């Protein structure tokens, strides 16, 4: 494994790195979060930082932002030793961060958010016209002038909120911009816009550290990459010369074959039929038929109405008109309790806000919809509950210390397995999965794909909503595309490719059909 | 290695959570026993008996309040409900109803008001704080109206036995009300810790959206929670009437705050999702011991108030500190 750094610039005339970390170490108690991390970023470069969840990326970020003090090693900014004291100091020194979870104040306006904490003022008096000019300038830099400056952030789409977050990072002209999974909640079109913005920043001389699970993305926009595994730098190189498989092998420490396993399936009878379904806002006139043993993918942009379709089906949101048939029986008016009784389960795209009871135990989260199996006359047996939870943890390879651990302490991948495990324990036969692989590590993703394949082979029916086109194409039997609240005709996966899916998602299906 | 030490720390945290309130109670008792004058009297059976008797009303209320606070709610109408219940109980005795009927009516008052609170909170998705703040005024006003703005002197009846000292010289036999409180606390501890209802309670308090997603009927659950809690508040009212032998529409003003304080000292969070019956009962005991100790030290009333205020802030502050330790 090539551990030495590839030379930036030419061999004879190397460019001094903008940011350099040398053998940085950090442990918490006996846990080594970072063992030995070295990497460097040149000016005007996009540097991809790649690694599974738990590899140490977020610890590294926290060290750079001054939240943690490293135990050893050194950091240099423009050749000078740099010891970040706190986030404000880091930012004033030219290091800006964009976190995976948006950190905007939802009720404040776009303008107020962009300048939050950096408001221009005369002796404490806010200078509103200057603030407006600065906010407008930051959005113009990103070519997103159409975002209204006075709108409260809560009214914007997630993609627009992301833009506001980036605009905020641009205030004060950062030297290094660190982005943690910036596209995890963006659709392809918004991702393109983001990439264009990143490219403009790079040309202006900003160094960008780009953290992402989406290797294809890293390959597209990054100049170089560094791979972390178990808190160690395990490889680095020029992106152009790298092969995806090599990078994946570095990340997981082994070769992953068959990312998308597929046992032969034969879809059977319709289990869920939706006829001309209208929600209060979305979906609009949506039809679909889900069969036993089928994985049906729904592609589309964020905000197209995919989540709403699942929620309306599951009885979480109100139906305006249309019909839902479960096992060929009329079942339009419903509630989550009734849907669960019918054997339908849903996992939310929003694990933390909706999907899980974060401060409750793993066992409670797994069993909550069906305590019946471990209780008698309403009395829950703690022992049987623990045993039952332990069985599921083993079966799903959930890495945790005990069934009594709070779910908030698990990594994203393990949390998602718990959310799916809840449906398995419930013995659901119809799965409505909203972005089940968002923000989780490659290893967990592969395990989830395998699980879905097994479920379909057992005759379970799955609706799989995703913004990540390769996984839809890899996992699903049939795919429909949602655009502005309407679901296109659902067609066999073989008739789609990434290009046609994207074209349909942005409402240009006539080009894509061929 | 790393896993092991983290595990131990977590277990230590959990242990602290469980024994924290007990430790607090022991500390309070220890501090009072430092004074020789107080010590002589403090540990006598009769003093302990008085403290237990004085805990009954707050403790029974805390049983109901714990349910509500775990589910992420709050009830500010308790003091008024206790007053209204005591007035209704006394009035029905005056009007010649049997003690059994008077007891039923007293408890019913709590249940009905709980039902109304719960139904408004659930069906209009309103803030429990606001709804029960309103109900605080409505119930207090109704009590004054029913009682004609004066205390209702109830004839002597078997209800007064509930809070009777019985043998005023020895610890045993304990008053009936104390035994009832102990029995109810045990039952509710099992309900909260070991039943499906209890799990749903924590689920709703932990994350209502998730609870809904998991098929829990959040609305009906809330109505049930407030009604069940109301049953305990009605029972508190009964104990109140038993102790004073009158229905007093101006009694128990601010009682809800004592009850909330007991629950919070016992380790519950007003954010919902945490809390325990045992903690709340010990919280109620801590407050009663503080009161008793302060009066035996001959401290004036205002000193008691200041001390109890400080204890509430300390207890919750320590709890935060403890959680941060446990989280690592």
Q: Does A311 touch chain B (CB under 8 A)?
A: no
pLDDT of residue A33: 77
SS3 A375: strand
* CA dist., res. A28 & res. B92, Å (int): 66
Determine the pLDDT at residue A184. 67
Say if CB B188 and CB A349 are below 8 A apart. Answer: no
Measured from the Cβ of residue A37, the count of other Cβ atoms closer than 10 Å reads 26
Q: If you average pLDDT over residues A342-360, what whole number do you get? A: 92
Whether A26 shows a pLDDT value over 70: the answer reads yes
Q: Is the pLDDT of residue B270 over 50?
A: yes
Longest CA–CA span in chain B (Å) reads 73
A68 touches chain B (CB under 8 A): no
Residue B8 has a pLDDT of 53
The pLDDT of residue A512 is: 40
Task: Name the CA dihedral angle for A222, A228, A234, A240, rounded to a multiple of 10 degrees.
Answer: -10
A2 plus A85 within the same structural domain: yes
Q: Which domain holds residue A140?
A: 105-169
CA distance B144 to B150: 7
To the nearest whole Å, the CA of B3 is away from the closest chain A CA by 8
Size of interface A-B (CB pairs under 8 A): 88
Strand-pairing partners, residue A125, are A122
Return the H-helix or E-strand segment holding A495.
none
- B281: burial class by Cβ within 10 Å (0-12, 13-18, 19+)? buried
Selected for mutation to probe chain A from B199, B211, B214 (highest A CB count within 10 Å) is B214
What is the reported pLDDT for A185?
A: 65
Residues A88 and A213 in one domain: yes
Please report whether residue A388 resides in a domain.
Answer: no
pLDDT band at A417 (very low <50, low <70, confident <90, very high): very high
The C-alpha atoms of residue A312 and residue A305 are separated, in whole angstroms, by 10
Evaluated on CA atoms A149, A151, A152, A155, the torsion sign reads negative
For residue B2, the chain A residues in CB contact (below 8 A) are 29-32
Q: What is the pLDDT of residue A117?
A: 81
- Per-range mean pLDDT, top range of A480-494, B84-98, B148-162: B84-98
Confidence of residue A467 (pLDDT cuts 50, 70, 90): confident
pLDDT single digits (tens) A257-272: 567 888 888 889 999 9
User: Domain limits of chain B?
Assistant: 51-319
Please name which of B205, B250, B277 lies closest in space to residue B84, comparing C-alpha atoms: B250
Q: Among A280, A175, A230, which residue's Cα sits nearest to residue A60?
A: A230
Structural domains counted in chain A: 3
pLDDT the model gives residue A53: 63
Of A257, A281, A305, the position where a domain reaches its end is A257
Do A433 and A308 reside in the same domain of the chain? yes
Partner-chain residue, chosen from B195, B199, B215, that has the shortest CB–CB distance to A364:
B199
Residues A131-148, mean pLDDT to the nearest whole number:
87
Beta-carbon-side half-sphere exposure of residue B322 (alpha carbons within 13 Å): 20
Binary contact (A336, B212; C-beta < 8 A): yes
Q: Mind listing the pLDDT tens digit for each residue in B170-205?
A: 888 889 999 999 999 999 999 999 999 999 999 999
pLDDT tens profile A495-511: 998 888 877 887 765 54
| Protein fold of B51-319 | ABC transporter involved in vitamin B12 uptake, BtuC (1.10.3470)
Select the residue of A32, A335, A357 nearest B210 (Cβ to Cβ): A357
Residues of A in contact with B3 (CB under 8 A): 401
Furthest C-alpha separation in chain A: 79
Are the beta carbons of B2 and A30 separated by less than 8 Å? yes
- pLDDT, tens digit, 9 for 90 and up, residues A294-313: 999 999 877 788 999 999 99
| pLDDT per residue as tens digits for the range B22-69 | 888 898 888 888 888 788 888 888 889 999 999 999 999 999 999 999
The tokens of B59 are what?
A: 């403790």
CATH classification at residue A329: 3.40.50.300
Residue with tokens 């789409």: A157
Same domain assignment for residues A299 and A321: yes
Residue of B179, B185, B147, B187 whose CA lies nearest to B161:
B179
- A242 three-class SS: coil
Chain B, 34 to 73: residues with Cβ < 8 Å from chain A are none
Q: Is residue B107's pLDDT more than 80?
A: yes
Pairing of strands A379-380, A375-376: antiparallel
Instruction: Name which of A316, A337, A368 is nearest B203 (Cβ-Cβ).
Output: A368
Contacts of B274 in chain A (CB under 8 A): 359
Query: CA-CA distance, B129 to B68, in Å (whole number)?
Result: 11
User: Do A1 and A84 share a structural domain?
Assistant: yes
More confident residue, A97 or A273: A273
Residue A59 resides in a domain: yes
Is the domain of A185 the same as that of A163?
Answer: no
Contacts of B74 (CB under 8 A, 6+ apart): B68, B128, B129, B132, B260, B270
A161-218: pLDDT as tens digits: 888 888 888 887 889 999 887 876 676 777 888 888 888 889 888 999 998 867 788 8
What is the tens place of the pLDDT at every residue in A424-465? 999 999 999 999 998 787 788 889 999 999 999 999 999 999
Residue A398 lies in a domain: no
Domain boundary among A206, A231, A257: A257
Examine the domain organization and report whether A78 and A157 are in the same domain. Answer: no
Match 């809330």 to its residue by tokens: B222
pLDDT surpassing 90 at residue B286: yes
Q: What is the pLDDT of residue B328?
A: 40
Q: Does residue A79 share a domain with residue A179? A: yes
Tell me if A371 is assigned to some domain.
Answer: no
The verdict on A10 and A81 lying in the same domain is yes
d(CA B67, CA B274): 10
Alpha-helix runs per DSSP H in A352-436: 362-367, 382-396, 412-425
User: What ipTM did this prediction achieve?
Assistant: 0.86
Q: Is residue A437 domain-shared with residue A507, that is, in the same domain? A: yes
Look at residues A135, A169, A203 and tell me which one is the last residue of a structural domain: A169
The answer to whether residues A180 and A90 belong to one domain is: yes
Pair A152, A119 in one domain: yes
Q: Using omega within 30 degrees of 0 as the cis cutoff, is the peptide bond preceding B173 cis? A: yes
- pLDDT at residue B18 in the model: 66
């Amino acid at each position: 494994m090539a551990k030495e750094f590839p030379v930036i610039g030419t061999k004879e005339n190397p460019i001094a790195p903008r940011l350099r970390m040398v053998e940085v170490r950090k442990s918490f108690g006996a846990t080594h979060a970072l063992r030995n991390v070295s990497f460097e970023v040149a000016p005007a470069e996009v540097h991809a930082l790649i690694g599974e969840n738990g590899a140490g990326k977020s610890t590294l970020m926290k060290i750079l932002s001054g939240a943690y003090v490293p135990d050893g090693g050194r950091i240099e900014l423009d050749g000078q030793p740099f010891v970040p004291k706190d986030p404000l100091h880091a930012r004033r020194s030219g290091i800006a961060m964009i976190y995976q979870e948006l950190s905007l104040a939802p009720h404040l306006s776009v303008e107020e958010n962009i300048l939050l904490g950096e408001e221009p003022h005369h002796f404490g008096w806010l200078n509103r016209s200057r603030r407006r000019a600065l906010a407008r300038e930051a959005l113009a830099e990103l070519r997103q002038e159409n975002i209204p400056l006075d709108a409260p952030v809560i009214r914007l789409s997630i993609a627009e909120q992301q833009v506001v977050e980036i605009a905020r990072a641009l205030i004060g002209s950062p030297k290094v911009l660190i982005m943690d999974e910036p596209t995890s909640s963006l659709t392809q079109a918004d991702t393109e816009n983001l990439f264009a913005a990143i490219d403009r920043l790079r040309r202006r001389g900003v160094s960008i550290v780009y953290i992402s699970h989406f290797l294809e993305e890293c390959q597209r926009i990054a100049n170089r990459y560094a791979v972390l595994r178990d808190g160690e730098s395990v490889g680095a190189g020029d992106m152009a010369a790298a092969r995806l498989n090599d990078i994946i092998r570095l990340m997981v420490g082994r070769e992953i074959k068959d990312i998308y396993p597929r046992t032969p399936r034969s879809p059977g009878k319709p289990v869920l039929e939706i006829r001309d379904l209208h929600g209060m806002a979305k979906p609009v006139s949506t039809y679909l038929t889900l069969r036993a043993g089928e994985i049906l993918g729904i592609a589309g942009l964020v905000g197209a109405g995919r989540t709403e379709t699942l929620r309306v089906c599951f009885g979480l949101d109100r139906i305006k008109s249309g019909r839902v048939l479960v096992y060929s029986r009329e079942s339009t008016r419903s509630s989550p309790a009734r849907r669960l009784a019918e054997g339908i389960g849903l996992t939310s795209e929003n694990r933390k806000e909706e999907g899980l009871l974060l401060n409750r135990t793993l066992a409670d989260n797994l069993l909550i919809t069906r305590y019946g199996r471990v209780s008698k006359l309403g009395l829950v047996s703690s022992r049987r509950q623990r045993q039952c939870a332990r069985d599921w943890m083993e079966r799903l390879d959930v890495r945790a210390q005990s069934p009594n651990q709070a779910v908030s302490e698990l990594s994203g991948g393990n949390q998602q397995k718990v959310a799916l495990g809840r449906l398995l324990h419930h013995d659901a036969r119809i799965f409505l999965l909203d972005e089940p692989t968002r923000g989780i590590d490659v290893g967990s993703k592969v395990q989830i794909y395998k699980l879905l394949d097994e479920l379909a082979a057992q005759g379970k029916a799955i609706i799989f909503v995703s913004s990540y086109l390769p996984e839809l194409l890899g996992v699903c039997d049939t795919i429909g595309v949602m655009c502005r609240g309407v679901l296109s005709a659902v067609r066999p996966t073989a008739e789609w490719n990434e290009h046609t899916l994207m074209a349909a998602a942005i409402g240009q299906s006539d080009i894509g059909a061929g | 290695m790393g896993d092991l030490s983290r595990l131990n720390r977590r277990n230590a945290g959990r242990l602290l959570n469980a024994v924290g309130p007990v430790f607090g109670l022991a500390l309070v008792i220890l501090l009072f026993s430092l004074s020789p004058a107080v010590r002589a009297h403090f540990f006598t059976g009769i003093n302990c008996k008085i403290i237990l008797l004085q805990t009954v009303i707050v403790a029974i209320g805390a049983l109901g309040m714990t349910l509500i606070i775990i589910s992420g709610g709050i009830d500010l109408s308790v003091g008024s409900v206790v007053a209204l219940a005591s007035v209704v109980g006394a009035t029905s005795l005056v009007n010649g109803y049997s003690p059994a009927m008077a007891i039923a009516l007293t408890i019913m008052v709590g249940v009905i008001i709980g039902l109304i609170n719960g139904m408004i909170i659930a069906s209009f998705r309103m803030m429990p704080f606001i709804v029960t703040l309103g109900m605080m005024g409505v119930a207090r006003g109704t009590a004054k109206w029913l009682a004609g703005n004066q205390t209702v002197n109830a004839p002597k009846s078997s209800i007064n036995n509930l809070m009777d000292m019985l043998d005023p010289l020895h610890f045993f036999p304990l008053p009936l009300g104390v035994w009832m409180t102990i029995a109810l606390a045990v039952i509710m501890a099992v309900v909260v810790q070991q039943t499906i209802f209890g799990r749903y309670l924590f689920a709703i308090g932990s994350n209502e959206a998730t609870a809904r997603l998991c098929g829990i009927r959040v609305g009906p659950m809330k109505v049930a929670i407030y009604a069940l809690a109301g049953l305990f508040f009605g029972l508190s009212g009964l104990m109140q009437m038993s102790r004073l032998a009158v229905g007093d529409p101006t009694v128990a003003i601010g009682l809800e705050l004592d009850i909330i304080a007991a629950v919070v000292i016992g380790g519950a969070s007003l954010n919902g999702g945490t809390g325990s019956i045992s903690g709340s009962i010990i919280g109620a005991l801590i407050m009663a011991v503080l009161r008793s100790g302060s009066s035996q030290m001959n401290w004036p009333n205002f000193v008691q108030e200041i001390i109890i205020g400080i204890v509430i802030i300390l207890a919750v502050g320590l709890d935060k500190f403890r959680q941060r330790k446990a989280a690592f």
